Amino acid sequence: MSLITWDQSYSVKVAQLDDDHQKLFSYVNTLHEAMHAGKGSSVIQSIVADLVNYTQTHFHREEALMEQTKFPGREAHRREHQKLIAQVGNFKKALDSGERVNTVAVLEFLREWLTKHIHGMDKGYSTHLNSNGVH
C-alpha cells in the first residue's frame, strides 16, 4: 500500500526530473510499506542513506537546469534544497550514531516535504524550463 501515488499533478513536464521525483516517492513508499510490515526500524537507516545520496543527485540536476536557463527563483529554490539536505542529514547522523529515530515522524516529514515542494516550488520552474527547451 503506497503512502503517496504519483500522478500527473506532480509532473513538472521535464522527463528526467519527473523520473527523479518518482524515485523519491518510491523511497517514501518503501519506508511506509516496511513500517506496515513492522520492519520500519530495520530499513530506515538504509532508506535515509539512499535518500541522502539520491536527493543530492536530483538537486544537482535540477539546480543545473535552473542555472542553465537562468530561472529567476533559483536561489530561493537552492535554499529549500539545502534545508532538506540538512534535515535528512540530521536523521542520518542520528541513525548512524545508534539513536532511535521516530520512523513515523521521519516518514511524515518526507511525505509532506516532497509533496509540498513539488507542488509549491518545483511546479514554479516548469513553464520556464519548458520555454527554454528543457522537456
Question: pLDDT tens digit string along 80-112?
Answer: 999 999 999 999 999 999 998 999 999 999 999
d(CA 26, CA 32): 10
Is 13-131 CATH 3.40.50.2300? Answer: no
d(CA 111, CA 21): 12
CB contact set of 42 (below 8 Å; sequence gap of 6+): 34
Check whether 73 has a pLDDT greater than 90: yes
Assess contact for 55 and 88: CB atoms under 8 A: yes
Tell me the average pLDDT of the chain: 95
Bin 99: left if φ > 0, else alpha if -120 < ψ < 50, else beta. beta
Q: What is the largest CA-CA distance in the chain?
A: 48
